[in-house]
Homo-oligomer: A and B are copies of this chain.
Amino acid sequence: MARVVQKFGGTSLADVERIKAVARRVAREVEGGHQVAVVVSAMAGVTDCLVGWTRETSRLHDAGEYDVVVSTGEQVTAGLVALALQNLGIDARSWLAWQIPIRTDDVHGKARIHSIEVAELEGRLALGQVAVVAGFQGLGLHGRITTLGRGGSDTSAVALAAALKADRCDIFTDVDGVYTSDPRIVAKARKLDKITYEEMLEMASQGAKVLQTRSVAMAMNHRVRVQVLSSFVDAPGTLVVDEDEIVEQQIVSGIAYSRDEAKITVQKVPDRPGVAAAIFGPLAAHAINVDMIVQNVSEDGRADLTFTVARTDLERAVSVLQEKRAALGFTALKPDSNVVKISVIGVGMRSHAGVAQQMFQTLFEKGINIQVISTSEIKVSVLIAAEYTELALRALHTAYGLDALG
Contacts and interface: CB of A to CB of B under 8 A. Distances in A.
Contact of A78 (B16, B56, B68, B83): B68
Interface in A23-60: 50, 53-54, 56-60
A19 B57 contact: yes
Contact of A72 (B76, B87, B144): B76
Contacts of A98: 98
B56 A16 contact: yes
A25 to B, nearest CB: 15
Nearest to A71: B75
Interface string A65-80: 1111101100110111
A64 interface: yes
A57 B75 contact: no
B58 A69 contact: no
A72 to B, nearest CB: 4
B59 A87 contact: yes
Given A58-B87, A84-B58, A65 B93 contact: yes
B93 A64 contact: yes
A20 interface: yes
Contact of A86 (B62, B67, B76, B96): B62
Nearest to A73: B72
Which of A56, A57, A59, A99 has the most CB atoms of chain B within a 10 A radius of its CB? Answer: A57
A57 B82 CA distance: 10
Given A93-B65, A143-B99, A144-B99, A57 B83 contact: yes
A57 B143 CA distance: 31
A273 to B, nearest CB: 47
Nearest to A120: B143
A68 B94 CA distance: 8
B80 A57 contact: yes
A66 B75 CA distance: 11
Contact of A69 (B66, B71, B75, B144): B75
A79 B55 CA distance: 12
Contacts of A78: 68
B16 A53 contact: yes
A83 B58 contact: yes
Interface in A311-342: none
Contacts of A65: 79-80, 82-83, 86, 93-94
Contacts of A83: 54, 57-58, 60, 62, 65-66, 69
A93 B64 CA distance: 9
16 contacts: A53-B76, A53-B80, A54-B79, A58-B83, A58-B84, A58-B86, A60-B87, A65-B80, A65-B86, A65-B94, A66-B79, A68-B78, A68-B82, A69-B76, A71-B75, A72-B75
